[in-house]
């Protein structure tokens, strides 16, 4: 992986430059102190799904806090168990724009890329 495109966190979760840029744009339209929280919950067509929420809160003691280029992401410890080694990216192609998580723990995922199974 090219480290100029992604920043490696201590637990191997990567926030790419494209994702950080998009998060920064989204957060710039929100109240100061707003961050993106990514979590994993049961559901979706493959068993688990990613959720993206804009929140104005301090991180929990066990949250992973990713920061890159003024973009901040929180991931809770339970979700982190499913996301260890994942890459958070933002894709803008003919199909549309979306955050995509490339997760090495997922053995299958749906076509939309928001749900997965382990």
pLDDT at 44 over 80: no
Alpha helices in 5-118 (DSSP H): 17-28, 77-83
Q: Give the up-direction half-sphere exposure of residue 15: CA atoms within 13 A in the CB hemisphere.
A: 24
CATH code at 6-117 = 2.60.300.12
7 Cβ neighbours under 8 A, 6+ residues apart: 14, 15, 16, 17, 20, 66, 68
pLDDT at 45 (0 to 100): 63
Q: What is the pLDDT of residues 48-95, one digit of tens each?
A: 888 999 999 999 999 999 999 999 999 999 999 889 899 999 998 877
Where are the chain's structural domains? 6-117
On average, the pLDDT of the chain sits at 82
Top pLDDT among 115 and 54 is at 54
Signed CA dihedral, 29, 30, 35, 37: sign only: negative
- Answering whether pTM is above 0.85, one says no
């Amino acid at each position: 992986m090219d480290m100029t495109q992604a920043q490696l966190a201590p637990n191997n979760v990567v926030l790419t430059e494209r994702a950080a840029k998009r998060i920064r744009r989204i957060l710039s339209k929100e109240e100061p102190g707003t961050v993106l929280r990514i979590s994993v919950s049961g559901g979706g067509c493959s068993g688990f799904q990613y959720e993206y929420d804009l929140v104005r809160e301090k991180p929990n003691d066990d949250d992973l806090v990713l920061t890159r280029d003024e973009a901040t992401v929180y991931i809770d410890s339970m979700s982190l168990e499913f996301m260890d080694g994942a890459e958070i990216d933002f894709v803008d192609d003919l199909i549309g724009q979306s955050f995509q998580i490339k997760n090495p723990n997922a053995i299958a995922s749906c076509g939309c890329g928001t749900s997965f199974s382990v």
